[in-house]
Chains A and B, each alone.
Chain A
Amino acid sequence: MQISKEHLKILDIVVKMGMDNASRRFSKTIRRAALIELVKTEMVDISEATEEMNNDLREMVSSMLQLEGAFNGKLLFMIPLEGALSLQDFYTGQPQGTSKEYDEFTEGTVQEIGNILASSIGNSFALDLGSQLLPTPPQILCDFAGTIFTSLIFEEGMYNDKILLTETKFNIHKTEIDCYFFLLPEIGSLEVTLNKLEKSESFA
């Protein structure tokens, strides 16, 4: 499984534009300044990434969904429970500290952030590459980071040693909320799309 440096760069740029779009949309939704930054896009060793996640013993709330269209892939947004409760207060317009326990609104908040991230990346692909990319309904989990991450990479881990991951950082309303966002494209379908793009540009 390989991806060329050029294609990695294109993916990095398109995801970055998607994150800029997501930042604007997220800020508008919660009526607070929010910045979602792309930290890196790289091939990582599955065992190392899993070990890192297993070392994070915090309870997490996550939204996991599939992307279908221009390429197939998975997306995972994962945030510590206390961060999710804080975002829930932003979303529901309540003072910070009001939400104390995980409930359907915590679930709905994380679900909607997953939707914003997924649709922003999809919209970015549609606009920049002219290819439709749509999210499926998300699956919401509340568990430890390692358990959630394992469910994300379970299939890939059976066939590959390395996976392509993008990682981001959230800054919301002057507070850095420590969370994880992983985009896991299926390399084969991504390469097909990016090859088509290269060919169409060379003929233009």
Chain B
Amino acid sequence: MKRVLIVDDASVVRLMIKKVLKEGDFEIAGEAANGVDALTKYKELRPDVVTMDITMPEADGIQATKDIIAFDEDAKVVILSGIDQKEMLWQAIKAGAASYIVKPFENDRVLSTLNEVTGKQ
């Protein structure tokens, strides 16, 4: 079972993502509520994939993605953000994100993206 680290500063969003992942047979490796904690948890838990919000305190999701990729160049980070602006999509890609999903998300879209990114059948 593939393990996921959920990073979002809103507790209800983490709860919603957890429900979706459980439906899709993913294991919740852990949760983080800001970009700094995301890197700490990544190092500690070594998940197969990270779902990453962008607008967060301490460090935003773009910086956290850069930090995680700098630590592990094979890390898989999928951005889940309400920001639907080309410039931000470009920044996410440059930071090393594997994919970008705009919130509110379709459950199937999240699961299919995570399956694809992790190579899960």
**Interface of A with B (CB < 8 Å)?**
25-26, 28-29, 88, 91-93, 104-105, 107-109, 111-112, 115-116, 119-120, 122-123, 126, 132-137
Contact = CB atoms under 8 A, between A and B. Distances in A.
Contacts of B45: none
Contacts of B13: 108, 112
Given A137-B56, A137-B57, A123 B84 contact: yes
A91 B56 contact: no
B61 to A, nearest CB: 11
Nearest to A25: B104
6 contacts: A25-B82, A29-B104, A105-B12, A105-B15, A109-B10, A137-B9
Interface stretch (B36-44, B67-75, B85-93, B111-119): B85-93
Interface residues of B, number: 22
Interface in B51-82: 55-57, 81-82
Contacts of B12: 88, 91-92, 105, 108-109, 111-112
A26 B88 CA distance: 21
Interface of B: 9-16, 19, 55-57, 81-88, 103-104
Contacts of A119: 55, 81-84
Contact of B88 (A93, A107, A134, A137): A134
B83 A136 contact: no
B53 to A, nearest CB: 9
A115 B55 contact: yes
A126 B82 contact: no
Contact of A107 (B11, B15, B87): B11
Contacts of A132: 85, 87-88
Contacts of B9: 111, 137
A126 B86 contact: yes
A116 B12 CA distance: 13
Q: Which 9 A-B pairs have the closest CB atoms?
A: A108-B11, A119-B82, A108-B12, A126-B85, A29-B104, A137-B57, A108-B10, A112-B10, A28-B104
A108 B9 CA distance: 8
A109 B11 CA distance: 8
Contacts of B88: 132, 134
Contact of A122 (B10, B14, B83, B86): B83
Nearest to B14: A108
